[in-house]
Amino acid sequence: MTIHTARPIPSPVVKELLTADDAGRPAVPRTDDEGGAPLRCCLRRSEPGERIALVSYAPLRRWAAGNGVDPGAYDEQGPVFVHAGECGGPAGDGLPFTNAHRTVRRYSADGRILGGRLVEPGAFTEALAEAFADPAVALVHVRAVEYGCFLYEVRKE
């Protein structure tokens, strides 16, 4: 059985996003008084008192640019929370944020959407195995159902 690992937003990309996000705006850091924001840099929920920023991020655009393809109309950007300063990254491997319904969106090597699926808690391993059983699938985005926000990426290994 293949182990799938969530890919956070890499630290150098977070630094870029804090200067100018993928919509061209500078980040506005704030102290998270309540905690609970899903941080995409370390794939955990924020703790009360941490400095975070909500920035616009275009995950497929950045992946496509690194792979020499054009995602065309599938290019989109949306809000993500990141640490406003240094972040040590995820504490471990695995799949975070799986305690709620999520969508798993599949993409081809040329950056086109191949489909998606609603995934219930506890069914992520099977959903990813199903997605990557299709040889046309190059990567998967896991997204929140309630807002459609990008949570993390999983690539074919």
What residue spans define the domains of the chain? 11-83, 102-155
Residue type, 54: L
Q: What are 11-59's pLDDT values in tens digits? A: 999 999 999 999 999 999 999 999 999 999 999 999 999 999 999 999 9
- Whole-angstrom distance, CA of residue 144 vs CA of residue 149: 5
Residue 81: its pLDDT value, please? 97
Task: Note the pTM of the prediction, 2 decimals.
Answer: 0.92
Average pLDDT, the chain: 93
Residue 2: its pLDDT value, please? 62
Answer for the pair 112, 71: CB distance below 8 angstroms, yes or no.
yes
Say what the alpha-carbon torsion angle 4, 51, 16, 75 is, to the nearest 10 degrees: 60
Q: Which two tokens stand for residue 38?
A: 């899903």
Residue 3: its pLDDT value, please? 63
- Residue 1 above 60 pLDDT? no
